[in-house]
C-alpha cells in the first residue's frame, strides 16, 4: 500500500493556515454574479494556457480565449488540440463535482483521454517501459509497465482513504497525489497535464475549488524551475532505487505554499473587481447551489436558454435537465419565458437577471 514519507515544515503549516483563511474570505466576499462569471471564465482560460505552456505549447492566452470563445471543437494542430482538450477536461471536472462523484481510476483515465486524445474515453495505461530525458541524458526511469496498474490502484485507494478518514488536510492529499501520479508516470505522454488535472479534481471535489475562480497552473509557470526541482527527489533517478521511498517534504511545502499564493492572488483580484463594480450580492449569491452558479453563467451572453443547453453545461440527460428547470422555477431561480412545449425557454428570475443587464 502506498505510504508517502514527509513532514509538515513550518512554511507548509503557515501556508495551510493561509489557505483556510483565504478560503473563508472567498466564500463571504461580496461579488456580483456577472463579476463571478467573468472571473471564472478568466481563470479557466489561464489554467488551460499555463498548464499546456509547461509542456511547450506555443499558444498565447489570447489564442486560447479566441479558440474557446469561438466554440471551436476540433483543433487544427497539436497546440490547438492540447488547449481545447485541457479546457474540456476542466469542464468534465465541474460535471463530476456537480454529480457528487467520488474519485476513481476511471476518472483519471478519462481526464487523460480528454486532455491528451480529445476523447472522453478512458485511456489504458502504458504497455511498455519509458525513460524521461533532459539535456544531460536520462533524468528519470519510471516503474515498469507491469507494475503500473497496481501502483495506480494503490494511489487511488490511498487518496480515498485519506479523504474519508480525514487523515491529512485536503491540500496536502492533493499535492501528494500529484507527486505520486507523475512518479508512477502511467502514460507515455500527457502525465504532467493529467497530474495537474488530478490535483484540481481532488480540490474541487472536497471543498477547495474556491468557486472555480483560481488556478494553480499559473504559479507552476512562475516558478517552473522550483516546480521541477521539488518533484525531483530521492537518491537515484531510478524508481526502484530509492525514488519510491523518498522523503517528499520539499514537494509538499512547495505545493502548499504555491496554493496559498494562488489563493492570496484570488483575494486581490476579487477586491479589484469589487472596486470596479460596487454591487454587494453576497446574500443573494450564497443561496445558489454550485449547479445554479454554473447555469447562471449561461446568461452572461444571452437572455434565454433551453433545458437542453442547461443539460449540456451540467452534463446531465434531457429528462434530468427538465426536472431541474421545473424545480428552479418553483424556487424562483428561473422563470419560463416561452411556454411552448417544443421551444420552451427560460430566463433568470428578475432578482438574478438584474446582475447581468
Residues 263 and 186 in one domain: yes
Helix (H) or strand (E) holding 136: none
pLDDT digits (tens, 9 = 90+) for 253-304: 999 999 999 888 888 877 777 666 554 455 666 678 888 888 888 887 788 9
Give the DSSP letter string of 313-332: HHT--HHHHHHHHHHHHHTT
Residues 182 and 129 in one domain: yes
Residues 177 and 242 in one domain: yes
Residues 133 and 250 in one domain: yes
Q: What is the pLDDT of residue 353?
A: 76
Contacts 24+ apart (CB under 8 A), 127-131: 128/188, 130/185, 130/188
Residues 299 and 178 in one domain: no
Residues 265 and 301 in one domain: no
State the CATH number of the domain containing residue 237: 1.10.3290.10
Mean pLDDT is lowest, of 47-56, 102-111, 166-175, 212-221, for 212-221
Domain tally for the chain?
2
Boundary of a domain, candidates 218, 251, 274: 274
Q: In the chain, what percentage of residues exceed pLDDT 70?
A: 92
Quick check: is 64 in a domain? yes
Average pLDDT over residues 176-189: 95
DSSP code for 242: I
3-class state of residue 231 by DSSP: helix
Residues 90 and 56 in one domain: yes
Mean pLDDT score of the chain: 87
Q: Which domain holds residue 317?
A: 287-356
State the CATH number of the domain containing residue 341: 1.10.10.10
Quick check: is 45 in a domain? yes
Q: 177: closest CA among 108, 241, 126, 242?
A: 108
Does the structure show a pLDDT above 70 at 30? Answer: no
Does the structure show a pLDDT above 70 at 346? Answer: yes
**247, β-bridge pairs:** 5
Q: What is the pLDDT of residue 108?
A: 97
Residues 131 and 256 in one domain: yes
- Cβ atoms of 334 and 328 closer than 8 Å: yes
Residues 294 and 270 in one domain: no
Residues 104 and 242 in one domain: yes
Residues 245 and 195 in one domain: yes
Residues 267 and 304 in one domain: no
Boundary of a domain, candidates 274, 307, 339: 274
CA distances from 328 to 148, 185, 210, 289, 322 (A): 45, 44, 24, 11, 10
Q: Rounded to two decimals, what is the model's pTM?
A: 0.79
Q: What is the pLDDT of residue 302?
A: 83
Does the structure show a pLDDT above 70 at 355? Answer: no
Boundary of a domain, candidates 250, 274, 298: 274
Amino acid at each position: 500500500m502506498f505510504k508517502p514519507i514527509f513532514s509538515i515544515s513550518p512554511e507548509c503549516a503557515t501556508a495551510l493556515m493561509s489557505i483556510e483563511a483565504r478560503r473563508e474570505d472567498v466564500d463571504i466576499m461580496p461579488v456580483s454574479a456577472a463579476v463571478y462569471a467573468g472571473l471564472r471564465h478568466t481563470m479557466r482560460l489561464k489554467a488551460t494556457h499555463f498548464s499546456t505552456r509547461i509542456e511547450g505549447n506555443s499558444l498565447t492566452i489570447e489564442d486560447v480565449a479566441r479558440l474557446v470563445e469561438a466554440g471551436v471543437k476540433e483543433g487544427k494542430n497539436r497546440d490547438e488540440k492540447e488547449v481545447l482538450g485541457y479546457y474540456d477536461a476542466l469542464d468534465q471536472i465541474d460535471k463530476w463535482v456537480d454529480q457528487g462523484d467520488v474519485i476513481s481510476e476511471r476518472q483519471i483515465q478519462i481526464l487523460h483521454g480528454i486532455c491528451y486524445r480529445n476523447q472522453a474515453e478512458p485511456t489504458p495505461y502504458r504497455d511498455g517501459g519509458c525513460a524521461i530525458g533532459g539535456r544531460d541524458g536520462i533524468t528519470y526511469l519510471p516503474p515498469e509497465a507491469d507494475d503500473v496498474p497496481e501502483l495506480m490502484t494503490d494511489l487511488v485507494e490511498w487518496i480515498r482513504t485519506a479523504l474519508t478518514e480525514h487523515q491529512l488536510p485536503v491540500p496536502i492529499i492533493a499535492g501528494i497525489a500529484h507527486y505520486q501520479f507523475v512518479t508512477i508516470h502511467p502514460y507515455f505522454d500527457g502525465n504532467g497535464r493529467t497530474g495537474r488535472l488530478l490535483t484540481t479534481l481532488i480540490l474541487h471535489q472536497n471543498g477547495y475549488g474556491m468557486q472555480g475562480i483560481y488556478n494553480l497552473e499559473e504559479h507552476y509557470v512562475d516558478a517552473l524551475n522550483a516546480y521541477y526541482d521539488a518533484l525531483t527527489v530521492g537518491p537515484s533517478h531510478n524508481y526502484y532505487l530509492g525514488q519510491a521511498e523518498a522523503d517528499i517534504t520539499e514537494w509538499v511545502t512547495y505545493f502548499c505554499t504555491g496554493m496559498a499564493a494562488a489563493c492570496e492572488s484570488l483575494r486581490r483580484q476579487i477586491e479589484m473587481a469589487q472596486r470596479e463594480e460596487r454591487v454587494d450580492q453576497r446574500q443573494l449569491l450564497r443561496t445558489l447551489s454550485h449547479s445554479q452558479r454554473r447555469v447562471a453563467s449561461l446568461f452572461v451572453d444571452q437572455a434565454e436558454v433551453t433545458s437542453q443547453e442547461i443539460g449540456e453545461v451540467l452534463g446531465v440527460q434531457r429528462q434530468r435537465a427538465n426536472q431541474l428547470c421545473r424545480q428552479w422555477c418553483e424556487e424562483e431561480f428561473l422563470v419560463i419565458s416561452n411556454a411552448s412545449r417544443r421551444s420552451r425557454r427560460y430566463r433568470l428570475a428578475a432578482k438574478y437577471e438584474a446582475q447581468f443587464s
